Copies of this chain bind each other. A is one copy, B any other.
Amino acid sequence: MTKPVTIEDLARITGVSPSTVSRVLNGNKGVAADKRALVLEAAEKHHYRPNAVARGLVSGRSMTIGVVVQDIATPFFANMLVGIEQGLDQSGYRSMFASTLWRDNDPNDDHEPFHVLLDRRVDGLIVLAGQASDQFLRDLAEQIPIIIAARKVEGLEDRCISIDNVEGASTITRYLIGLGHKRIAHITGHRNHPDALDRLRGYRLALEEAGIEYDEELVVEGSFHEESGLKGVEQLLTRGVRFSALFAGNDQTAYGAMLALASHNFRIPNDVSVVGFDDVSLSAYTLPPLTTIRQPAVAMGRAAAESMLRLLSGNDPEVPHFQTELIIRKSAAIYH
């Protein structure tokens, strides 16, 4: 473990002052050409690398932006993270992630990931969905530049990047109705998850418009995971309700649902149509490929990063508006 070379070292080697070394290293104007060359050469030769920690302490900027995420391993979030990295690239900023999910026992741990990041003096915070309260996020916004993605926070509208879940859900439900389906089941996300609530609302809205009565026997609670799609279908089947189509709360739920249906010998889409929400990249490869609503995760992540960059340079974040899009593949068909 060799000690990294410092500016002090370089100064000693080249015979100029540390100030001058610092200046040439920072591409600062006004340094004699010969000294500049000297320093640059020495830096190169000794593999000098600036200590970002020290630099951060004096400049007050760590050049890293914190990202709070529920679960890295969820395809949708993973894609947003990719987008964030893309958006930050070339900016000199880097992202640092902090997650919670898998330790959801301790409720006041909800703030723990925020603190790790804040303590490390990140220059800004991008929050992906998550269960921190609106109030907490509002307070945070007083302390540090913040952008929120895949979630809407009252009072922070100009910092939120999200799609309209009600609209997306009603669009895909309408699509099923247009295919002739009347008995449409729905497996929701977590009971209190805002997205889950909005999607349920969109589903009901579309039914209402079409004059189809809402039947609570047709909806079961899920959790946005594959497992819950599987269980959801089992529940529906146990209840003995008839349905010709199923709107799963998200794509992962749809995967589980399709498996359960197949194992009960229902053919998709001939016997029952299945649709999801999100359009995770895998959904183009399921059997059959999944009809779903696209929520542009990568683009949203990139936009979050870009808005953050704008915020950090003192400008208006200008968060863009994202539209959902109906992606028609093979998992839903005309009712007969």
| Of the residues B78, B255, B259, contact of A73 by C-beta under 8 Å | B78
B residues in contact with A62, CB < 8 Å = 53
A103 within 8 A of B: yes
B residues in contact with A14, CB < 8 Å = none
B residues in contact with A78, CB < 8 Å = 72-73, 78
Distance between Cα atoms of A286 and B116 in the complex (Å): 38
Q: What copy number does this chain have within its complex?
A: 2
A194 within 8 A of B: no
Q: Mark A75-111, 1 if CB is under 8 A from B, else 0.
A: 1001101100110010000111111001100000000
A309 within 8 A of B: no
A50 within 8 A of B: yes
A34 within 8 A of B: no
Distance between Cα atoms of A94 and B142 in the complex (Å): 25
A153 shortest CB reach to chain B, Å? 18
A52 within 8 A of B: yes
Cβ–Cβ contact A54 & B57, under 8 A: yes
From A22-30, A118-126, A205-213, give the one contacting chain B: A118-126
A287 within 8 A of B: yes
A280 shortest CB reach to chain B, Å? 10
A15 within 8 A of B: no
B residues in contact with A145, CB < 8 Å = 1
Chain A residues bordering chain B, tally (CB within 8 A): 57
A19 within 8 A of B: no
A262 within 8 A of B: yes
A37 within 8 A of B: no
Report if A81-B73 is in contact (Cβ < 8 Å); known contacts: A53-B53, A119-B51: yes
CB closest chain-B residue, reference A2: B143
Which residue, A53, A85, A86, A286, has most C-beta atoms of chain B within 10 A? A53
B residues in contact with A230, CB < 8 Å = 285
| Of the residues B54, B72, B258, B289, contact of A72 by C-beta under 8 Å | B72
A226 within 8 A of B: yes
Q: Mark A209-224, 1 if CB is under 8 A from B, else 0.
A: 0000000000000000
Cβ–Cβ contact B72 & A144, under 8 A: no
B residues in contact with A103, CB < 8 Å = 89
A132 within 8 A of B: no
A115 within 8 A of B: yes
A193 within 8 A of B: no
Cβ–Cβ contact A2 & B142, under 8 A: yes
A256 within 8 A of B: yes
Distance between Cα atoms of A110 and B287 in the complex (Å): 37
A248 shortest CB reach to chain B, Å? 12
Q: Which 8 pairs across A and B sit closest by C-beta, in order of nearness? A: A73-B78, A255-B285, A287-B287, A52-B119, A52-B120, A226-B285, A96-B96, A73-B82
> Please, could you name 24 A-B residue pairs with CB atoms under 8 Å apart, sorted by A?
A1-B142, A1-B144, A1-B145, A49-B115, A52-B119, A53-B53, A53-B56, A53-B120, A57-B57, A72-B78, A73-B81, A73-B281, A85-B99, A94-B98, A95-B97, A96-B96, A97-B97, A226-B282, A226-B284, A230-B285, A255-B285, A256-B285, A259-B286, A262-B288
